Amino acid sequence: MKLPAMALVAALALSGCAPTTYSNLAMACSEHVGKPISERIAALGPPAAIVRLSPTQVGYKFVSTATIYLGGDVYYTVNYMRGADANRTPIYPVTGTCRGMFVVNAPSDAMPLTKRIIIEVRPL
């Protein structure tokens, strides 16, 4: 009877150490430089806006969020009566936001999206 009560108290104590949900962490949008804009459109859907910046450059405005789950790492505790116990850290979601304008070279509107390579990412 005492073992479940102690396990409950230990679980509550460990859950108090778990961080709460993080939101709106800035993600690096610059990792997409050098890739075609068609990959971003396929992954994120249609852009929020398309802007002609100059006669040779077009900007695609995107706002996207992604959620990853952190935690779940194994750590060990030692109980000399029972031996070592494997435990896991709490798992919590982290939401990141990528918002920016992907600038591509497009001298004409007839140029296919697969040929438009991202040359710069500007923050919004």
> What is the model's pTM?
0.55
Average pLDDT over residues 87-93: 90
Residue 110 in domain: yes
Evaluate whether residue 62 is within a structural domain: yes
pLDDT band at 30 (very low <50, low <70, confident <90, very high): low
pLDDT of residue 23: 38
Residue 26 pLDDT level (bands cut at 50, 70, 90): very low
Does residue 123 contact residue 99 with C-beta atoms inside 8 Å? yes
The answer to whether position 61 is within a domain reads yes
pLDDT at position 14 is 45
Range of the domain at 68: 21-123
The answer to which of 37-41, 57-61, 120-124 has the lowest mean pLDDT is 120-124
How far is 21 from 86, CA to CA, in rounded Å?
A: 25
Q: Is residue 25 part of a domain?
A: yes
27 in any annotated domain = yes
Distance CA 65, CA 67 (A): 7
Q: What is the CA radius of gyration of the chain?
A: 24
| Number of domain units in the chain | 1
